Every structure is written in structure tokens, then in C-alpha cells.
Amino acid sequence: MHEFLTALGDFAFLRCALAGGLLVSVAGGIVGSLVVTRRLTALAGGIAHFILGGMGGARYLSKVHGIEWLSPLHGALAAALLAAVIMTFVRLHAKEREDTMIGALWALGMAAGVLFIWRTPGYNEDLMAYLFGDILLMSTGDLVVIAILDAIILAVAFVFYGQLVAVCFDEEFARLRGLPVDLFYFVFLCLTALTVVVLVTVVGVVMVIALLTLPVAAAGRCSTRLWQMMALSTVFIAGLTTLGLAVSYDANLPTGATIVMLAGALYVVVTFGGKALARVRVRARG
Amino acid sequence: MKRQGSLHAGDAPALTFDRVWFAYDGPVVLEDVTLSIPRGDFVSLVGPNGGGKTTLLRLALGLIAPARGKISVLGAAPADARRFVGYVPQHQVFDPQFPVTVMEVTLMGRLAPARPLGPYGRGEKAAASEALGKVGLLDTRDRPFSTLSGGQRQRVLIARALASAPELLLMDEPTANVDSPALVELYDLLRLLNQTMTVVLVSHDLGFVSRLVRRVVCVNRTVTTHPVGELSGAEMQRVYGTAVHMVRHDVHGDGGGCGCTSS
């Protein structure tokens, strides 16, 4: 740990990574709480994998067709929002089963990404960064983007808190109370899509769902209100990214995978530790 | 509780169905349903599973539209009347792990498109507290919804509906998964509420219904109305397969024979 703290003073890229981890925790904690309570984990996973197509496509266009300003992040954002539009449309108009569509987006996005990367000259290291994340590549520009997203999500969560609780808890009742439930769903999917994109920069396409659900589920076990779950999830994700960064730096391990393993450990401890604690309490009372 | 405007149709019946037909992409669920429930009435929809009780409720809420016919709620189209309708769904459909308190659930009843943005205000909280007081659960306001018993959850959902000061209360199976002491409390509560509003509920529990409601609407693709009385209903017996002595056929009604068993 001491080694990590010393390095933090020496290297700007490490400070950037640390700040990035802290910033994504706000978006991840709030949106993750909504994803988990609305049981849309699979949908978030589908969006995450779909954006690989966007990242690959953007990189292909920039390298092969010389559109140099286009970065993989742009492609990811476009793909994520496209997925949100498609899934909202499917829910409102098509008779297609939602889980079938999620599976289709999931696989087709991956396939498109692989084909684009195959056709793009250069090293395939980028592919590894997209799939498994590389928080050490976080730039100050990325930090600004994430901070803006955090601000938007915080504002929405504050202004529409009561509505969000109602829509997540009982969508039909919310509709009967005159809330624009379908609009809420679309906005929610867009925020989920954007959050997935920023989390992908930390842990990658494959593992993003772990960071969006494991700390959140652990927080849910310790919360009696949705805002508590959001706040605690944010704290958990911030702790996990920071600890993951430190551990992976000291032990020379890939950061994304380290963070996800720590998230898994947190989830197991809180879930099963909580159950054991409850049993002990019951026994003490009996 | 302050009323948020009015539909200006104080003399219109609470609920009317005029020759309504409905089908979900398949066989007809409701066939030529005509029905009128006056204000202040206390009615239960009974009938076998799949007979169309819940469909009838969803039509009244405007969640689905009839294929043919006209539905009017408090003198208006169902979607326009929603603000004045309190809906109480079955309590066991909710995620038991959802982090929400009793007060937060009740406050959902205050939601409306016109309410100011941001956190709930003092007036909204006062209205929710008053509704919780009516169902006798004000002392549980800060407890997690998931820690309540089935009967208590049911009453919180009633409080949520009451928080909007409805003129018509629509309830789906309020007696499901509620133990008998809680059933007695529910019985008293609904009686009290019926003094100020029309109550329409869906129920399987004929014993519960017969002690409580004034009329029974028998729904099995077609619809017939019966006043609650002492005489046995032979048709009801055939439907439920047990002796039912509480519902009398309304020989003077417009139905002309019970629709419960008509194929």
C-alpha cells in the first residue's frame, strides 16, 4: 500500500485513474441501484456488449478512413444510446420478446466489434482494453465527461426521486397516477447506457455488469430506502475501485479483474455474513 | 385532504359499461357487458379464474381499451377519471427486497403530473400521514415495507390509494394472502371507507364478500348483477362447486338469469 501511495505522488496517470474510479462510483451507484431494483441487469449487460461494436467501428473509421477526431469513446456513446432507443422501441411497439432482443444486441454488438477490430490494422491490445478495461488509460478529458454525466444523474435522481421510487416499485400504479412512465423508461435506459460506457473504461465490456450489480446488491442488503442504497453503492464502488487500483499496482495485476474480484468478495461477505449474523441474533433472542 | 379539482359530473354513476366487448389477441374475454354501479355502492366482482374479473378492472382503469362499447368512470373516459380513482393491486406482486418505507409507498399516491418537481412537500406528507392513520398504520411509517405482514401491506396499499382522496376505490383480490384477524380489520376498514366513496373489489372469497358488499357482479365472459341476500344461488354453486347461500338472483334486474355459467 505504501508503494502505491508513493507512486500516486509520482505519476499523474495514477492520480487520473484514482479520480476516474471515484467519479464513476457516483453514476454507478445511482444508476446501478435503479438497474438492480428494476431487475434490468440483463438489459444493462446487453447494452455493455453492444457498445463493443461502436468502439470497434469508431476505431476502424478513424484508422482506415482517416477520421482522426473519432475515438472509441465516441463510438461507445453512440452505440449505447442506439441500444437504449432500440430497447425502448421494442418495449413500446414491437411484439418481440424483450429477453430475445437483449440477447440479439449482446451477440451482434460483440460480433460487429470483432469484425471491425479484425479489419483495422495495428495491434490488438485495444481489444483487450475494451473487453477487460484499463483504468490506467483514463485521461483528463475522460474525467470531465464522467463528471458531467455524474452531474446529470445526480440532478435527475434529486428532482425525480419520488417518481423514480414509484416507477421502480410499481410501474402500473405510477402510470395510473399520470406519470409519463414510458418517457421515464427511455431516460432511464439512456442514463444506464451512458453509465455503462463510463464503467467500461474501468472494468471493460465483459465485467461491467459485475461493478453495476455486485456492490449495489450488497448495498441493498444494508438499506431500507432507495437513496440509502444509492449512497451506499456509491461508497462501495468508490472503495472497490480505489482498493482495486492499489492492490493491482502493488501486486502487478490487471486492475479491472482485481476490482471485480474484490466486488465479488464484498457481495459474498455482505450477503452470507448478513444471513449468519441474523441467525446468531435469532439464537441469542431465543 | 384537498381534492384536486373535479370532473363536474357529480350525478354520473361511479362506473358504467355499455355493451363492452374485449379480447386479448384471441378468444373473447368479455362479451357484450352492460353494467352500472351507482355512487356510494359497494360491489364485488366474483367469478372463476380467467372469467374476466381483472380484465374488467383494467378496462375501468383505462389500462386497456375495449374492442367495442363504451366505458365511463365518474362520468368521464377511464383515462381522464384516473386522478379520482384509487387503485389497490394485490400486495404479493411486489419485490420483497425493494428498499422502501411504508411512508414512501403511501406518498406514491400523491404523485400527479402537475405536482411541483423535487422532494415531497409538507402538504403531501401530511396527506400521506392522514391516509396511514385511516388504515391504522401511522406508527409503522418509517418501517421497511418488506417487514410488514400480508394484511398490513394490503392496508398500506389502501392508504396509498387513499392519499389521492379518491371517489372510487378499485381493489384486486384484497383478501388474498391475508390471515383471518387481519381480514376482520380489513372488513371494518372497507365498511368505513364505503361511507365516503364507492368501493369495487375483485374477490374469490364469497364468505368475505357476502358479509360486506351490497351487490355482487358475476363475471364469466358475460356479466350479471345480484344483490346480496339470504337465498341460495344455484348457478353460483355450479360455478364454485360448493354451497353458496349468500347471493340471490336479481329477478327484477336486467340480466335475466345468471351469466356465470353461460358458455
Is A179 in Cβ contact with B107 (below 8 Å)? Answer: no
Nearest to A220 among B99, B112, B117 (CB): B99
- The answer to whether the CB of A133 falls within 8 A of the CB of A207 is yes
Residues of B in contact with A172 (CB under 8 A): 63, 89
Residue A124 three-state SS: coil
Nearest to A37 among B82, B98, B107 (CB): B98
Best CA proximity match to B90, nearest among B23, B162, B16, B158: B158
Place of cell 451507484: A29
Q: How confident is the model at residue B240 (pLDDT cuts 50, 70, 90)?
A: low
Q: How confident is the model at residue A148 (pLDDT cuts 50, 70, 90)?
A: very high
* Residue A148 to chain B, least CA–CA distance (Å): 20
Assigned C-alpha cell, B38: 351507482
Residue A116 three-state SS: helix
Assigned C-alpha cell, B92: 404479493
Nearest to B98 among A159, A169, A172 (CB): A169
The reported pLDDT for the residue numbered B248 is 45
Q: How far apart are CA A21 and CA A276, in angstroms?
A: 31
Over residues A188-216, mean pLDDT: 91
CA distances from A259 to A132, A164, A202, B32, B261 (A): 11, 29, 9, 62, 63
| pLDDT at position A286 over 60 | no
Residue B24 three-state SS: coil
Q: Measured between CB atoms, does A181 come within 8 Å of chain B?
A: no
Q: Which helix (H) or strand (E) holds B220?
A: strand B215-220
Q: What is the pLDDT of residues B53-77, one digit of tens each?
A: 889 999 999 999 999 999 999 999 9
Over residues B163-186, mean pLDDT: 86
Is A176 in Cβ contact with B82 (below 8 Å)? Answer: yes
Higher pLDDT, B8 or B126: B126
Residues of B in contact with A180 (CB under 8 A): 113
* Residue A146 to chain B, least CA–CA distance (Å): 24
Higher pLDDT, A161 or B258: A161
Higher pLDDT, B48 or A229: A229
Give the range of the structural domain holding residue A138, as residue numbers without chain letter: 2-285
Nearest CA in chain A to B164: A177
| pLDDT at position B141 over 90 | yes
Q: How confident is the model at residue B253 (pLDDT cuts 50, 70, 90)?
A: very low
Higher pLDDT, B135 or B91: B135
Assigned C-alpha cell, B15: 362506473
Q: Measured between CB atoms, does A71 come within 8 Å of chain B?
A: no
Q: What is the pLDDT of residues A213-272, one digit of tens each?
A: 999 999 998 899 999 999 999 999 999 999 999 999 989 998 989 999 999 999 999 988
Q: How far apart are CA A235 and CA A25, in angstroms?
A: 7
User: Count of CB atoms within 10 A of residue B14's CB?
Assistant: 27
**Into how many domains does chain A fold?**
1
Q: How confident is the model at residue B260 (pLDDT cuts 50, 70, 90)?
A: very low
Residues of A in contact with B121 (CB under 8 A): none
User: Count of CB atoms within 10 A of residue B69's CB?
Assistant: 16
Best CA proximity match to B206, nearest among B232, B170, B182: B232
Q: Measured between CB atoms, does A180 come within 8 Å of chain B?
A: yes
Expressed in percent and rounded to 5, the helix, strand and coil fractions of chain B are: 35, 25, 45
Q: How far apart are CA B2 and CA A267, in angstroms?
A: 46
Is A229 in Cβ contact with B99 (below 8 Å)? Answer: yes
Question: What ipTM, to 2 d.p.?
Answer: 0.84
CATH number of residue A88's parent domain: 1.10.3470.10
Is A174 in Cβ contact with B160 (below 8 Å)? Answer: no
Nearest to B99 among A173, A176, A226 (CB): A226
- The answer to whether the CB of A49 falls within 8 A of the CB of A110 is yes
Q: Measured between CB atoms, does A220 come within 8 Å of chain B?
A: yes
The secondary structure of residue B247, as a DSSP letter, is: B
- Gyration radius of chain B over CA positions: 18
Q: Measured between CB atoms, does A38 come within 8 Å of chain B?
A: no
Q: How far apart are CA A172 and CA B240, in angstroms?
A: 31
CATH of B15-240 among 2.30.110.10, 3.40.50.620, 2.40.10.10, 3.40.50.300? 3.40.50.300
Residues of A in contact with B108 (CB under 8 A): 162, 165-166, 169-170, 173-174, 177
The secondary structure of residue A133, as a DSSP letter, is: -
Q: Measured between CB atoms, does A162 come within 8 Å of chain B?
A: yes
Assigned C-alpha cell, B101: 418505507
Is A173 in Cβ contact with B108 (below 8 Å)? Answer: yes
Interface of B with A (CB under 8 A): 61, 63, 82-83, 85, 87, 89, 94-95, 97-101, 104-105, 107-109, 111-113, 117-120, 144, 160, 164
- The answer to whether the CB of B182 falls within 8 A of the CB of B154 is yes
CA B77 to chain centre: 17
Q: How far apart are CA B88 and CA B96, in angstroms?
A: 17
To the nearest whole number, what is the mean pLDDT of chain B?
81
Q: What is the pLDDT of residues A63-109, one digit of tens each?
A: 888 888 888 888 999 999 999 999 998 888 876 678 888 999 999 99
Q: How far apart are CA A126 and CA A56, in angstroms?
A: 9
Is A37 in Cβ contact with B99 (below 8 Å)? Answer: yes
Is B105 in Cβ contact with A178 (below 8 Å)? Answer: no
To the nearest whole number, what is the mean pLDDT of chain A?
89
The reported pLDDT for the residue numbered A7 is 86
CA distances from B210 to A30, B236, B241, B244 (A): 48, 13, 17, 10
DSSP states along B225-257: EEEB-SS--HHHHHHHSS---SB---TTSSS-S
